């Protein structure tokens, strides 16, 4: 039962992450107090939700550079990348999560292939 609830909350975490990533860092300054306050509030909320996830055994999977594992990752595409070993993850399109050691949502990834 908790898995379904956790999956629903992952979408909220994704939206918070996208919101903080979309703010240009050069715009977060004292001369722009409303945006700065909003951004800081989003970051605090995102941090707090990750603390709650961790407390309840829900951990992020951000596997850039790791070996592809079909139990934890879902390959969206394969691409040649100079200087990286085939079979490793070059890009993470969507963060994955594990609940008590079991994959709840696989990370959506791009995998390095032979050139």
Task: Give CA–CA dist 7/40, Å, rounded.
Answer: 25
pTM, full prediction: 0.84
pLDDT band at 115 (very low <50, low <70, confident <90, very high): confident
3-state secondary structure of 78: strand
pLDDT at residue number 2: 83
CA atoms within 13 A on the CB side of 17: 12
Where do the structural domains in the chain lie, given as residue ranges? Answer: 1-56, 59-114
Task: Give CA–CA dist 14/32, Å, rounded.
Answer: 25
- Per residue in 13-65, pLDDT (tens digit) is 999 999 999 999 998 988 989 999 999 999 999 999 999 999 999 999 999 99
- Per residue in 76-110, pLDDT (tens digit) is 999 999 989 999 999 999 999 999 999 999 999 99
pLDDT at residue number 114: 85
| Matching CATH number, 59-114, of 2.30.22.10, 2.40.30.10, 3.10.20.30, 1.10.3210.10 | 2.30.22.10
3-state secondary structure of 2: helix
């Amino acid at each position: 039962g908790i898995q379904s609830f956790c999956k629903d909350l992952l979408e909220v975490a994704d939206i918070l992450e996208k919101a903080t990533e979309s703010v240009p860092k050069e715009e977060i300054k004292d001369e722009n107090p409303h945006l700065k306050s909003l951004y800081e509030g989003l970051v605090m909320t995102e941090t707090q939700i990750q603390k709650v996830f961790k407390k309840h055994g829900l951990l992020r999977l951000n596997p850039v550079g790791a070996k592809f594992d079909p139990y934890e990752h879902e390959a969206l595409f394969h691409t040649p990348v100079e200087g990286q070993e085939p079979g490793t993850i070059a890009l993470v399109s969507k963060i994955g999560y594990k609940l008590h050691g079991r994959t709840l949502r696989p990370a959506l990834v791009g995998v390095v292939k032979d050139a």
